[in-house]
Chain A
């Protein structure tokens, strides 16, 4: 079978390690054997032809069919196959999981323990945990089953594979829901043991607008609709299917969970508690944000070794533009030592802070987008007014109502003699804007707002009359330099000549730019083949010969501020 992710060579269907097959290709031997069995297509994955009675009945449940033919399979994994079914006695749709592990064939004591564990796990009720309706062992066939609330949606894994990594806000919202569920479970002393993207169902809220809600309620509902509701499935099932070795300790006779998302304790057969789930949630969120898992390996041993090295590929998060606070939180969730991980309550608090940071950054972007539209109009009106009065004092200061940390990146110029390379300048501009946009509390003036200065003469050189403010870019640049000379921060001259900051307070984010953005550009430049994979334009941008022909623009205070002088 196809591996779930390139770096982890385990079968997504049954969890077994992939092996080399024909021509050195990887494949799952178990899954490749099954098609040989007669009628396997319509049989559950436990290869038991007696799994269903005639016409797809399983006790009181009737398995639904797709197109009146094939059994309606919702999914399958290492533990069993899940079908969409109808509870004929209650006329209710359910997700029926038929378990493949050989519990039924074991001793009576083991079977009773499974029922005890499953009963207790089913008692955990929360809006973000799929409700368990029924579970048990069919004495006639000896099969274990688990009937759950049918959730119409897709798993987080399916969502990421279909639509790519999630944005920060959606991920945090999902994390908050899962954390709330884990907090309730922790109070009851229950853990999931197999928390992973495939066990998180996402349900998009109904698009229909209910009648009778006031404006505020409608607004809140609209805001919530953008992010899905998360529901944890198979809660406690992994634990119920593994017998404790020592009843006094929560250690088990088999590996609990899925290697790529398992905590170090799960590999070491140590005591498991809610902090193990926190670790798995950390890996799950990492996957949601990046589409990758932090610890890669072709086998359980390799994954465990990667965990032990304790080196997190933070670069993956940076590339995905994950805010610093959330990065730190993920790092703490993935601590090797369970004691260093936050508990569900602390995690909930931290997630609220991360959500606030993400919301703030989002609002900033929205404001800037609006500003990009409004500022040119305001500028035109102001210039018109200035030309008429000619009485603006040079040192009248900046508009105090405007945010302090804003920055404008002027257009880059193509100094090569190749007109075809002109788009490279736009690419570099975009790149710098993108990098700067990562800084949450810094406003980036949109490209649209600075387009008016494109193609003008060099704004950085030559003395300019202080009062000649009407000659837009040149005058602004000179004035800015004169007024804010003390706060000028110089960057690597190869890339950005000068940055004129407004106040000393802006040094902090600029230092961050210096440390993070510039090395990133350097790295891309040094590795054209890496950068080239991102998009076609960058592939050309980072070719050194072309790069060197470009002269880079500079970063100045927002022109709107300067025009006010």
Chain B
């Protein structure tokens, strides 16, 4: 609840990356900041698109080329201007736009190899194999949602880790990270952690509580960056949780 109130207050002054892009879509010219915001979003969330394309039957090279082409197309042709203002979530927009792009690209095969201006990180062979194994029984949309959720979590954890490193608490992060989502206090072996981390149990409890709060705030911030209203954060997170559960059930069938 506190998070939501804070977000509502922030909403009065701060534009998120996605709202900046949406505003840019409304105006005749696109600001450098809006393009930069879109570029950042694309850098963060390219993996879900890549996985989706993989599920559509594209090979590694083609999927990567097509992802880059798609981003280039999105920026050059102001594709974001067509984002649905009422139901505008970046996740849904990106997938919809990609689907349209693929349909068009099938008619214009030459576009596949054109490439975009954006350099995307490459997945190594092992990561590719892991993707393929995990996504083997998922539908393309499920794989996309799942990878989207994973990207969000990785991003939030990376930010938290960076903050810990800056605060000289990298080692503490290593101990605490596995228990960030622990649902029960009893599941956390404070006594075991106390000795190697050179902290007493009480301090560890405080540190864990603090990092959990911070992780939660960062995660919500990142989700906030992909939705239009602060009130949509919970809805988006619930949607992803349900998508993961559905994908898990399907995978096990």
Q: Which residues of A contact B (CB under 8 A)?
A: 1-2, 13-17, 19-23, 25, 27-39, 45, 47, 73, 76, 100-102, 253-255, 299-301
Contact = CB atoms under 8 A, between A and B. Distances in A.
A23 B234 CA distance: 27
20 contacts: A1-B181, A2-B179, A13-B183, A14-B248, A16-B248, A19-B150, A20-B130, A21-B154, A22-B158, A22-B161, A23-B157, A29-B153, A30-B149, A31-B181, A32-B157, A33-B152, A35-B219, A36-B219, A101-B249, A255-B252
Most buried by B among A31, A33, A34, A299: A33
A30 B241 contact: yes
Interface in B180-203: 180-184, 187
Contacts of B4: 38
A321 B160 CA distance: 46
A530 B218 CA distance: 43
B133 interface: yes
Contacts of B220: 36
B153 A27 contact: yes
A38 B130 CA distance: 32
B157 A27 contact: yes
B230 to A, nearest CB: 11
A39 B248 CA distance: 24
B252 A254 contact: yes
Nearest to B189: A2
A34 B180 CA distance: 11
B74 interface: no
Contacts of A17: 134
A539 B107 CA distance: 70
Interface string B226-253: 0000000110011011101110110011
A37 B233 CA distance: 8
A47 B181 contact: no
Contact of B181 (A35, A101, A300, A301): A35
Interface string B108-127: 00000000000000000001
Contact of A37 (B161, B177, B234): B234
B245 A100 contact: yes
A300 B182 contact: no
A155 B180 CA distance: 24
Contacts of B3: 38
B134 A19 contact: yes
Contacts of B156: 32, 36
B212 interface: yes
Given A22-B161, A38-B3, A253-B253, A33 B179 contact: no
A317 to B, nearest CB: 27
A15 B237 contact: no
Contact of A34 (B133, B154, B181, B252): B181
A22 B180 CA distance: 12
Contacts of A22: 154, 157-158, 160-161, 177
A34 B244 CA distance: 11
Contacts of B252: 254-255, 300
Q: What's the interface size class on B, roughly?
A: 35 or more
B244 A35 contact: no
A35 B212 contact: yes
Interface of B: 1, 3-4, 127, 130, 133-134, 146, 149-150, 152-154, 156-158, 160-161, 177-184, 187, 212, 215-216, 219-220, 223, 233-234, 237-238, 240-242, 244-246, 248-249, 252-253
A37 B134 contact: no
Contacts of B241: 30, 33-34, 37, 47
B86 to A, nearest CB: 23
A141 to B, nearest CB: 15
Nearest to A31: B181
Contacts, number: 111
A33 B183 contact: no
A33 B149 contact: yes
A47 B242 contact: yes
B170 to A, nearest CB: 10
Most buried by B among A27, A37, A254: A37
Contacts of A39: 1
B245 A32 contact: no
B153 A33 contact: yes
A13 B252 CA distance: 16
A27 B233 CA distance: 22
A16 B244 contact: yes
Contacts of A23: 157, 161
B152 A21 contact: no
Contacts of B177: 22, 25, 27
A299 B150 CA distance: 18
Contacts of B212: 35
Given A25-B178, A33-B149, A35-B216, A76 B183 contact: yes
Most buried by B among A16, A36, A102: A36
Contact of A35 (B149, B154, B215): B215
A499 to B, nearest CB: 44
A465 B81 CA distance: 109
A264 to B, nearest CB: 15
B21 to A, nearest CB: 22
Contacts of A25: 177-178
B183 A254 contact: no
Nearest to B235: A37
A29 B183 contact: no
B105 to A, nearest CB: 30
Given A19-B150, A29-B146, A36 B157 contact: no
Nearest to A16: B248
A32 B237 CA distance: 11
A183 B150 CA distance: 44
Nearest to B4: A38
Most buried by A among B160, B177, B212: B177
Given A21-B154, A22-B154, A38-B234, A30 B245 contact: yes
B110 to A, nearest CB: 36
A36 B184 contact: no
Nearest to B248: A16
A149 B114 CA distance: 65
A29 B178 contact: no
A357 to B, nearest CB: 36
Contacts of A253: 253
Contacts of A76: 183
B174 to A, nearest CB: 8
A91 B154 CA distance: 46
Contacts of B149: 29-30, 33
Contact of B150 (A14, A29, A38, A102): A29
Nearest to A28: B181
Given A35-B215, A76-B183, A100-B245, A21 B178 contact: no
